[in-house]
Structure 1
Amino acid sequence: MKSKIHEYQKNIFYAMSKKITLVLAFIGMIMLQGCTVNENTDTIDNDTISEVFELRNVNFSFNPNDGYTIYQTFNPQIFPSDVVLIYRLSGLINSNTPIWQSIPRTLFLPQGELDYDFDFSSVDFTIYAGGTYNLGLTPSFITNQTFRIVIIPGFFGKNSSLDYNDYNAVINAYNIDDSKVKILN
């Protein structure tokens, strides 16, 4: 009788250990499913890195359909979820302190209103200049312009407490190294 009880206990232990092993294997499969191996060590994780590009001393082009524009493509393309912010160099406090204005922006000039605006996709962006007067009368606002294009990955989401009009606040919030701005031209 004692050996039957002992054998019964061994069978229960064996059945339980089999179930525990299956449960542990299942948990292990779930945990390992989230792991990936990236064989290519040359790739950059662009979907979580904010970047800044600069268009320096560029001129708006004019065509009758679109008015004054600056068109540029992204190389490489950005992710569809990324956000683009554009700032215009509006002046200097001193040689080391630029003044960046976010666009869209309306300037009220003696000649009338001048508007800067932009649009973007994952492959390109266009900056527009338009106004209530002939912009050719104020060439200093459509020639030799400098813009900073800030790419913020959608991964970060929108920070409701951040003033996106403040270029310095944006680069600080997204840990952008302002000394490594890439020049486009």
Structure 2
Amino acid sequence: MKKYLPILLLAFVSLFIFSCNDDDNVVRDGDTYSKMRDVSGSFTNSNGYSFTVPISIENTDVVLVYRRDPAASNAWQLIPKTYFLSGGRELDYNALFDSQNVEIYTEANFDQTTMSSSEVSQYLTNQTFRVVLVPASPAKGVSAVDTSDYNAVVKYYNLDESKIKTIKVN
């Protein structure tokens, strides 16, 4: 019996060693993990005020989309975002995503073809968005990062802005 005691003790300890996993905060590298890309394009009547960006992520991963603030070149605003124009008009930036595509689009409570040339220039022409693909765990119930703060997301996921790929649509 004395010979079996060390083996049983070793088996018992190894059970706990292999059953513990502390990878909740690991940012994974590879094709489907944290990365960013810039997308620029114009929203027009001919493209239905939307464009699609191809991606490849897991079903549990998350896509965050930020719009570059034209007034400040290094400021990013998380979308969805509503802009209140004159005359009670509202222009919304939105995004939809699945595991293969991100659609970025505008919606309005008015006909967007009636926008003034300065509004078109400010809100529809040559818009730049940053698409951030981040890993998510279905077991996580609460986000550990404030996704509305672009800089907090970059820091939390240790994203390298110098490696951003830019995609030009339309």
Question: How do 1:85-164 and structure 2 match up within 5 A?
Answer: 85-93=64-72, 97-110=73-86, 112-138=89-115, 139-140=120-121, 141-155=123-137, 158-159=143-144, 162-164=145-147
Higher helix share: 1
Alpha-carbon contact 2:45-2:113 (below 8 Å) kept: no
Alpha-carbon contact 1:119-1:126 (below 8 Å) kept: yes
Alpha-carbon contact 1:61-1:70 (below 8 Å) kept: no
**Residue of structure 2 in register with 1:21 after alignment:** 7
Deviation at 1:62, TM superposition (A): 4.1
| Structure 2 length-normalised TM | 0.72
Q: Give distance in 2, aligned partners of 1:176 and 1:102.
A: 17
Q: Give distance in 2, aligned partners of 1:175 and 1:25.
A: 38
Q: What SS does structure 1 have at the residue aligned with 2:155?
A: helix
**Kindly tell me: are residues 33 and 45 of structure 1, through their superposed partners in 2, closer, same or farther at Cα, counting changes over 3 Å?**
farther
Q: Give distance in 2, aligned partners of 1:154 and 1:68.
A: 29
Q: Give distance in 1, aligned partners of 2:62 and 2:135.
A: 6
Question: Does 2:151 match 1:168?
Answer: yes
Higher strand share: 1
Identity of aligned residues (%): 34
Q: Which runs of 5+ in 2 are unaligned?
A: 21-28
Deviation at 1:164, TM superposition (A): 2.2
Structure 1 moving runs of 4+ over 6 Å:
none
What amino acid does structure 2 have at the position aligned with 1:127?
Answer: I
The size of the alignment, in residue pairs, is 153
Which structure has the higher relative contact order (CA within 8 Å, separation 6+)? Answer: 2
What amino acid does structure 2 have at the position aligned with 1:50?
Answer: S
**Kindly tell me: are residues 89 and 17 of structure 1, through their superposed partners in 2, closer, same or farther at Cα, counting changes over 3 Å?**
same
Question: Does 2:32 match 1:53?
Answer: no
Q: Which has the larger radius of gyration?
A: 1
Alpha-carbon contact 1:135-1:142 (below 8 Å) kept: no
Q: Which runs of 5+ in 1 are unaligned?
A: 1-14, 35-43
Q: What SS does structure 2 have at the residue aligned with 1:91?
A: coil
| Structure 1 length-normalised TM | 0.67
Q: Give distance in 1, aligned partners of 2:99 and 2:44.
A: 22
**Kindly tell me: are residues 172 and 21 of structure 1, through their superposed partners in 2, closer, same or farther at Cα, counting changes over 3 Å?**
closer
What amino acid does structure 2 have at the position aligned with 1:183?
Answer: T
Deviation at 1:24, TM superposition (A): 3.1
What amino acid does structure 2 have at the position aligned with 1:108?
Answer: F
